[in-house]
Structure formats: C-alpha cells, structure tokens
A = this chain, B = another copy of it.
C-alpha cells in the first residue's frame, strides 16, 4: 500500500473581487494509493491535465450558487481534468483507463460515482484536448451554438471572448455552418489569431474600441442574428442594440462580471421585445447525453485539420494559481490548461 506525496492547490479563503495567486496556496500532503472501502468513491486517479475555466471563479465566492458543486474553503479546488485510473471499484472503468471529468486540483484524486466522468476512447489526438475541444468547453460551444441557436447558412454570428476555450470553437463551428462570424478579444495578437488562423471573417480588440456599439455596427451593418455570450455587461448591452429580428443569444458565461462586487447594469433589454430576441442561459452538464454525437461530429474535423485548437499550457501544480488567475485578465492565449504530470 504505497503512500505517496499529494500536492494540492487549496483556496485560503473565499474570494471577493479579482482573485489573486495569493488567495491560493500549495500544500503537500500524502495519500495512500488505495480506494477506501465501503465508500462512494469508486476511482482512484492520477491527474494528468487540469482545466482552467472561468466558471471556477464563481465557486470561490462565499455563498456561491448552489447549482455547482462548491470548492469549500480549505479544500482543493474542484474542476475538470484528465486522469489515469490507478484503481477502479466501478465496472465501467479499469486500471489504466484514461478518463476526463470533474476532479480536484491535486496529484491524485478519489472520484465518486455521481461525478461527471467519461472514459477517453480516442488517443490519436492530444490528451489535453479532453480539457478543451473534446471536453466540457467543446461540448459547451457545440450545445450553445448548434442546439440552442439553430444557425442557418448566411446568418451573422458574434462571439465574445472569441479566442478562449469556447469562443474559438464557436467561431469555427459558425464557419462550418456557413455563417459570417465576428469575434472580439482583448489583444492584437488574439485578434490576429482569430482572423488568420481560426477563420473568423472579422475581429476586433474590445479594449481599443471606445464605442462598442459603433464597433458592432461597423462589423455588422445588417445586424447580428446569433450572439454567443461569454462576457456580459457592456458588451451585451451593445449587442442588444445591434440584434436583428428573431435573434438568438446563448448565454454561456459572463466573465466580465464575475469579479465585480456590483455587476454592470444592462440597460437595453427592451430591445428583446420588438426584435423578438431569445436569450437562453445554459449549463453544458445538462446535455452530456449528446457527447457521443458530438465526438462523431468533431473528431473527423480535427483529424482532417478542418477544426484547430489553440492551447496555452502551463506546467506544474504550483503554477496553477497563476494560470487560473490569468484567465480574468485575459493572459491566456487560447484554452488555458495545466499540465500536472507527464506520467
């Protein structure tokens, strides 16, 4: 019964405002590499990659929404990751399997049977993809764009946080659907990425636009049919002024608001009435039944190079806090991943 080191990233206390690296610390404990008996924890896994996702900020707030399993103060962060099964008490998994799903920010985790978990069947693509394009963010883009917005050829699509884990896929999916797509991002390099590598028709740096409404009017002289919402606040307000009749808004995230103690007010909602706009909030976890269909759709595109994915990989659990905190000031260039172990 081997006892090994188990490094963990732990929240010191609940966070208000922008999270800082110093809100977390690294602790080194030990773990016995054996499943506890008579427990709901049925898998012992070694974490290989951890996913840095914007929603994680919400779990750091005291009294956070009860709809997401919380990272209680003084326990390791929870989040998505990719791991190797070391021991299994569940008939669907065996030692050596690769899995992705909800895990903890530590080297070794016990996973209970009621957590989101998928066996990884295809390893001809990078394993880290299961934290991004082939994991939760990929499914989020797929469900939020195709299922909720029912895009039609020729429609005009706007994506905010467009170079992020989800946005870069929404843009590429929009092109596959025959749409015109514009993205906003927070640096010249990201804008170049959108236009030159990811196939967006147009893109702009929202930090350089003094008038978001004018920027949208420039990119969408005929208005926006579909908005994939990742940021909230001022961007949503400007979008509402530029939506077309029967427009659809998928509300995936509002990263610009998560760190504000007083969120920005959205003032243009009355546009929803005359323009018959539908706004739909969603959590991808409701749609994981579509995962096989999603893989069947996306894997060939990845293999043929028709859909690409940009990752920003930090290495080592001790660099996790910086990687996570960086999301909220846009330091990540593409999907932010944390490599925990090369095995």
Name A's B-contacting residues (CB within 8 A). 58, 65, 67-68, 232, 236, 245, 251-254, 257-258, 262-283, 286
Chain B residues whose C-beta falls within 8 Å of the C-beta of A245 in the assembled complex: 67
Taking A232-B269, A277-B280 as known contacts, 7 extra A-B pairs with beta carbons closer than 8 A to each other, sorted by chain A number, are: A65-B274, A67-B274, A67-B275, A68-B274, A265-B266, A266-B266, A272-B280
Chain B residues whose C-beta falls within 8 Å of the C-beta of A253 in the assembled complex: 273
Q: B286 near A276 (CB under 8 angstroms)?
A: yes
A58 to chain B, nearest CB (A): 8
Chain B residues whose C-beta falls within 8 Å of the C-beta of A280 in the assembled complex: 272, 276-279
Q: A274 near B266 (CB under 8 angstroms)?
A: no
Number of copies of this kind of chain in the complex: 2
Chain B residues whose C-beta falls within 8 Å of the C-beta of A276 in the assembled complex: 280-283, 286
Q: Which residue of B lies closest to A282 (CB)?
A: B276
Q: List 11 A-B contacts (CB under 8 A).
A: A67-B245, A67-B274, A236-B269, A251-B269, A252-B273, A258-B270, A263-B268, A263-B269, A264-B265, A278-B279, A279-B280
Q: B281 near A232 (CB under 8 angstroms)?
A: no
Q: Which residue of B lies closest to A278 (CB)?
A: B280
Chain B residues whose C-beta falls within 8 Å of the C-beta of A67 in the assembled complex: 245, 274-275
CA distance A230 to B266 in the complex (A): 17
